[in-house]
Each structure stands twice: as C-alpha cells, then as structure tokens.
C-alpha cells in the first residue's frame, strides 16, 4: 500500500476517534443537564429484581398511571396528578428503563413490563387499581388486564398504541441494539443528534395544536441518556410484533375500559388503534377529541380526568354487581 494511503487512513482513524470522543463528552454533558433539571421525584420499589421509580400522593381507591415512550412520571405530575390525588391514592411509575427505573433483562414487551409493575404494586400493597395508560403505556395497561384480570378495577387508555400499524417501524430504533455499533453510537452521538431533531418530533406529537408551554415539564431530556435511549428504542422496535399477538386476546378483557382518542393524532393513528380497540373490547366506552393531537395529557387534561372519573364509577358499579 502506498505511503500516502497509509497516512490518509491513519488520519481518518484519528479523526474518527476524536469525533467519537467529542460525542461522548457532549453526551455526558447532556446527561448531567437532564438529571439536574429532572431529579428523582419519588421513591423506589423492588419488582422481581429491579428497582422501579414511582411517585405517590393521596389516599383512597388507587389509580396507577403509566407513561408513554420517551416519557416519565413527570408527564403526569405536570398535568393530572394533583387533581387525582385530591380524591384517590395516586401512583405514577417510570416504566422499566425509563426515567429513573432500572431496565433489567427481557422487559421490553408490554407483557413483561406489566408483570414487573404488578410485582411493584404488590410490594406497595395496591390491589385492583384503576390503571391508566398513555400511548405505549396503553399497551402495558392492556397487557396487565390480560394477565391479571382479577387485579384491575378498570382501564383508561389514552391515545394508546394497541394494534399493528401500516408502514412498520423505522430501522433507526433497531440501531442501539446492534452489536458493537449500537453501544458505540448510543454513547456518543445519538443523544446530541436526537436532541436536535426533537423539536420537530414534539410538534408532530401536538399537531394540529401548538406545543403547550407546559410541555417544558416533560422529562424528554432524561430519555436521551444512553441507557434510557436504548431502552425506549427497544420498546418501539419490538412493539408492533407484540401488539399483533397481544391484540388477539382483547375480546376476552372484561374490565370496564375508557378509551380516549384525539382524532388528529399523528403518532398513534386513531383508526388503527383506539377505534379498533373500542370495537374489540366488550365493555368499553370511546371518547373522541376532535382537532387534537397525541399529547392529550398536556392539551386536554380535563378530558383525561373526566375519563378517569368515569372509570372509577364503572368500577364501583362492577363491584356492586359482583356483590
């Protein structure tokens, strides 16, 4: 090989190393900034070998809140948490790998996460809660009711990801799990690059409405940390296959279910998810919100609160009928 080509390759290698080191430094800074802005809010509970972070407030009948992908407990704390806690025992949980919850092995599926959350609620002596799931959390709530039908009072699914969808999932979400290259880019340039394109993604999640000023309380920055980013990407990459299998059993879910859907949702398309879910769940009620996007927690908290209130009332009716 000519000497000039060797020098070129060496220079290219050195430049690549410096690029990776630069990405690692920027990522460390972003992690520090995120954890300073969004510190631990609550306590930790052990669930089958991993610690889950949760916040709790209030007393009375329990309601458990499950967030969406690239989210966390702060999404509820910033919106409906205090209103719910005024009348019920309210618990918001960081799903495994999100926020400050540990990931653990083989917890990427909604069913696996539901089992960990059930174990955590057992540790907290919470039985028969009203279970609220937003977006990806909706898939988890349905998996919970599928596996533990006798230990859930009612469901509330808000713009839930519930069924397979056309077009599949972007391969970008597969990258963090690839051997060698996945950890390399996840710990260097994924966080900086993702933070740059985040505003466009946020606008899409709110469209057709503008992004609310209140969304600054969302813990999105925490999900750009390498371990959280990898966990969220895995959640998204495997979700469609999980839902294809999970949705086959929806017709057997008998608990009262409130389904809330924004008709302008560009993230979890209403006709592929919420409307199909309403058709398949025998004991469900559908609330549609026209001219609204995916982030209903931030744009229409009153609609979410009303749906949870109806879920509590339907759960009480079901208990009365059983007695």
CATH number at residue 60: 3.40.50.1820
Does the pLDDT at position 9 exceed 70? no
pLDDT at 122: 96
Half-sphere exposure (Cβ direction) of 176: Cα atoms closer than 13 Å: 24
216 in any annotated domain: yes
191 in any annotated domain: yes
Could you give the angle at the alpha carbon of 100 between the alpha carbons of 121 and 198, nearest 5°? 120
Yes or no: say if 124 and 91 are a contact pair by the CB < 8 Å rule: yes
- Nearest Cα to 128, choosing from 254, 284, 315? 315
CB contact set of 295 (below 8 Å; sequence gap of 6+): 205, 206, 212, 215
pLDDT tens profile 228-287:
999 999 999 999 999 999 999 999 999 999 999 999 999 999 999 999 999 999 999 999
| Overall size of the chain counted in residues | 323
39 in any annotated domain: yes
How many Å apart are CA 156 and CA 138, to the nearest integer? 8
Pairing mode, if any, of strands 50-57 and 43-47?
antiparallel
- Per the DSSP assignment, residues forming a β-bridge with 260 are 158, 287
Alpha-carbon torsion angle 169, 175, 179, 180, nearest 10: 180
φ/ψ of 47, rounded to 5, equals -135, 100
Structure tokens at 156: 């509330």
1 in any annotated domain: no
How many Å apart are CA 323 and CA 302, to the nearest integer? 32
**pLDDT, mean over the chain:** 93
pLDDT tens profile 38-72:
999 999 999 989 999 999 999 999 999 999 999 99
- Mean pLDDT, range 73-85, rounded to an integer: 98
Confidence of residue 14 (pLDDT cuts 50, 70, 90): low
CB atoms near residue 262 (< 10 Å): 27
pLDDT tens profile 305-318:
999 999 999 999 88
Confidence of residue 119 (pLDDT cuts 50, 70, 90): very high
Bigger pLDDT: 43 or 19?
A: 43
How many Å apart are CA 7 and CA 283, to the nearest integer? 70
Does the pLDDT at position 1 exceed 80? no
Q: What is the pTM of this model?
A: 0.93
Structural domain including 307 reads: 6-322
94 in any annotated domain: yes
Task: State whether residue 155 is helix, strand or coil.
Answer: strand
234 in any annotated domain: yes
pLDDT at 236: 94
Does the pLDDT at position 153 exceed 70? yes
How many domains does the structure of the chain reveal?
A: 1
294 in any annotated domain: yes
pLDDT tens profile 192-242:
888 888 899 999 999 999 999 999 999 999 999 999 999 999 999 999 999
- Mean pLDDT, range 80-105, rounded to an integer: 96
φ/ψ of 78, rounded to 5, equals -80, -10
φ/ψ of 174, rounded to 5, equals -85, -25
Does the pLDDT at position 76 exceed 80? yes
pLDDT at 203: 95
211 in any annotated domain: yes
């Amino acid at each position: 090989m000519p000497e000039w080509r060797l020098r070129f390759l060496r220079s290219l290698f050195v430049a690549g190393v410096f690029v990776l080191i630069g990405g690692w430094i920027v990522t460390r800074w972003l992690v520090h900034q995120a954890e300073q802005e969004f510190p631990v809010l609550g306590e930790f509970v052990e669930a089958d070998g991993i610690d889950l972070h949760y916040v709790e407030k209030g007393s009375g009948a329990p309601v458990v809140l499950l967030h969406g992908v690239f989210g966390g407990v702060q999404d509820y704390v910033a919106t409906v948490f205090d209103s719910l806690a005024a009348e019920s025992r309210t618990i918001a949980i960081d799903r495994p790998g999100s926020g400050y919850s540990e990931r653990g092995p083989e917890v990427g599926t909604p069913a696996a996460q539901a089992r960990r959350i059930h174990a955590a609620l057992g540790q907290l002596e919470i039985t028969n809660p009203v279970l609220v799931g937003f977006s990806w959390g909706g898939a988890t709530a349905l998996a919970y009711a599928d596996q533990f039908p006798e230990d859930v009072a009612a469901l509330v699914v808000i713009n839930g990801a519930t069924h397979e969808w056309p077009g599949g999932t972007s391969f970008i979400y597969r990258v963090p799990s690839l051997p060698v290259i996945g950890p390399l880019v996840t710990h260097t340039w994924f966080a900086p690059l993702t933070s740059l394109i985040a505003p466009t993604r946020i606008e899409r999640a709110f469209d057709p409405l503008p992004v609310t000023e209140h969304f600054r309380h969302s813990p999105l920055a925490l999900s750009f940390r390498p371990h959280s980013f990898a966990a969220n990407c895995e959640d998204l990459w495997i979700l469609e296959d999980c839902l294809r299998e999970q949705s086959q059993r929806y017709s057997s879910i008998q608990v009262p279910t409130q389904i809330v859907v924004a008709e302008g949702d560009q993230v979890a398309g209403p006709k592929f998810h919420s409307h199909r879910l309403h058709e398949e769940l025998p004991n469900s009620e559908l609330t549609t919100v026209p001219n609204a996007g995916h982030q209903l927690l931030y744009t229409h908290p009153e609609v979410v609160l009303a749906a949870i209130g109806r879920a509590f009332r339907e759960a009480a009716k079901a208990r009365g009928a059983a007695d």
